[in-house]
Amino acid sequence: MPPFRGWGRDLGFMKLQIRGKDIRAIGYPEAPVISVAMNIMEKHYKHSTLEEALEVLKQVLESPATYQTDEVLGKIADLLMEKEEKEASQVELNVSGIDYNVFGAAHIEQGAMHQMNAAAKLPVAVAGALMPDAHAGYGLPIGGVLATENAVIPYGVGVDIGCRMCLSVFDIDVKDLDGKEKFFTRELIEATLFGSGVQFKEPEDDAVMEHKAFNEIELLKGLHGRAWRQLGTSGSGNHFAEFGVVEIAEKDAVMGVEAGTYLGLLTHSGSRALGANIAVHYTKIAKDKRRLPQEAANLAWLNLDEEAGMEYWIAMNLAGDYASACHHIIHAKIAKQLGRQPLKMVENHHNFAWKEMYNGREVIVHRKGATPAGKDVLGIIPGSMTAPGFIVKGKGEVASVNSASHGAGRKMSRTAALNSITHKALKDILQKHDVKLIGGGLDEAPFAYKDIDVVMQAQQNLVDIVGKFTPKIVRMCGDKPKTHMNHKRLKEDSVMEGE
């Protein structure tokens, strides 16, 4: 006959076995107190029945202050009291928000404007701007820029921390893209691995995996193995690796490449599961610390002088370095096969937070789907799989908080694109622009994006164009688009895959 539920065998005696779901069922919050309570009860009440143990836990939950001095149950009581204090910390938005500038307002959806309005009312907000490719996201809109004082907002950075662009410019005749198309196609396939959960069987190597934070921050310890196996991979959604034509009209002192036409390798991806787990973990902590009104709930912040804020800052920067390493591994593999080193490499994050000076004081500038555009700072603003992208040089415009768009920006959600775009239409436009697509799907079709020329026109005061990239062989995730049961996930992907 099996032992009574909640008991196990221990040297002839019955031993308590209690599960997290049992503790949650009596009203305990989803928090670290669950695991602490499990350990304490199994150690100090191991000969009690499950019902007896749960009754003790109920009493502590009902009156934690009564048990704070208890040698055994005091730790549980302390955690419950901390939770109550956190939940009592309600933060009100300012009545009127800071002023912020909007670029290309005629082409920005109201959802993004509403989200930026909420962000502008945060007590920690100092300055902001909305880029011409903006659309609604989680917390800060995609294309949103927000400067704060001594505070970092995990969802102001985004889930795909360090999502970035990287361009290698090679002195190779672009005619080879047609004459040796099979060669370039093979190299893209062999040097890349796309998909939301993909991992290499034999991990790549990079110094970033030796970063001390992997040993010092508890969360990162558990993420190290998977991060290593995903090093050098790319995500799904709008992430890509592509060969194309780079055109430099005239030599620019900062770009440093002679006028001419070159072969380019352009990649777009971020920090994979590492960044996503960091974002979710610290967003939960931020929400526990600061309860904001519903319209701003995802804008909860961490102060940089508190432990969680300092941890997030270290973890965020590590995720950014990791994302950069993923790009460099892909580019190094392909450069080796091409037998050439690039003349120039241009790269930039567009989901990140930086410490910068603004009007004479240090602030934290969140760019969620926005390109750094400080004076003479180079960056890449892509179009779509058929539309050109641009190499740009920032003008250091204070009105945009030294920022520019990070792409053309979506005009259709993924669900809308899947429901309205046909495979024939995608095939026709690829053929019209002489683009070969490997993988990809209707949710990433060019029709789903705004006109990149209109977007660039709206930010003439923010950047100078120093080069142009036209895609020719495009590699994207080949996963089949989600269907009816996953439409919510599709909607999330449109903002969680680095856009």
Is the confidence at residue 483, as pLDDT, over 60? no
CA atoms lying within 13 Å on the CB side of residue 92: 3
pLDDT in tens, 338-364: 999 999 999 999 999 999 999 999 999
Residue whose structure tokens are 């309860």: 291
Q: How far apart are CA 298 and CA 300, in angstroms?
A: 6
Q: How far apart are CA 206 and CA 221, in angstroms?
A: 17
Average of per-residue pLDDT values in the chain: 91
Is the confidence at residue 44, as pLDDT, over 50? yes
Summarize the confidence of residues 201-218 as an average pLDDT. Answer: 94
All residues at 6 or more sequence positions from 303 whose CB lies less than 8 Å from its CB, including other chains? 150, 151, 309
Give DSSP secondary structure letters for 136-176.
--SSSPEEEEEEESSEE-HHHH-SSTT-EEEEEEE---TTH
What pLDDT, on the 0 to 100 scale, is given for residue 405?
98
Summarize the confidence of residues 92-109 as an average pLDDT. Answer: 95
Is the confidence at residue 202, as pLDDT, over 70? yes
What pLDDT, on the 0 to 100 scale, is given for residue 8?
46
What pLDDT, on the 0 to 100 scale, is given for residue 87?
54
What pLDDT, on the 0 to 100 scale, is given for residue 89?
72
The model's confidence at residue 304, banded by pLDDT at 50, 70 and 90, is very high
Q: How far apart are CA 116 and CA 129, in angstroms?
A: 8
The H-or-E segment that residue 81 falls in is helix 74-87
- Give the torsion through C-alpha atoms of 118, 399, 391, 236, to 10 deg: -10
CA atoms lying within 13 Å on the CB side of residue 421: 24
What pLDDT, on the 0 to 100 scale, is given for residue 138?
86
What pLDDT, on the 0 to 100 scale, is given for residue 191?
96
Which class is domain 152-496? Answer: alpha beta
* CA 115 distance to own-chain centroid: 18
Summarize the confidence of residues 359-379 as an average pLDDT. Answer: 97
DSSP 8-state secondary structure symbol assigned to residue 323: H
* CA 458 distance to own-chain centroid: 25
What pLDDT, on the 0 to 100 scale, is given for residue 306?
94
More confident residue, 25 or 349: 349
CB 304 within 8 A of CB 310: yes
CB 131 within 8 A of CB 366: no
Does this model's pTM top 0.85? My answer is no
Q: How far apart are CA 246 and CA 255, in angstroms?
A: 13
Q: What are residue 359's phi and psi, to 5 degrees?
A: 50, 45
Residue 218 buriedness (CB in 10 A; 0-12 / 13-18 / 19+)? exposed
Residue whose structure tokens are 């003479």: 376
pLDDT in tens, 236-295: 999 999 999 999 999 999 999 999 999 999 999 999 999 999 999 999 999 999 999 999
pLDDT in tens, 135-173: 998 889 999 999 999 999 999 999 999 999 999 999 999
Is the confidence at residue 490, as pLDDT, over 70? no
CB 322 within 8 A of CB 162: yes
- For the chain, which residues make up each domain, given as ranges? 7-87, 152-496
Q: How far apart are CA 331 and CA 436, in angstroms?
A: 20
Percent of the chain with pLDDT over 90: 81
Tokens of 380: 């890449």
Q: How far apart are CA 403 and CA 353, in angstroms?
A: 12
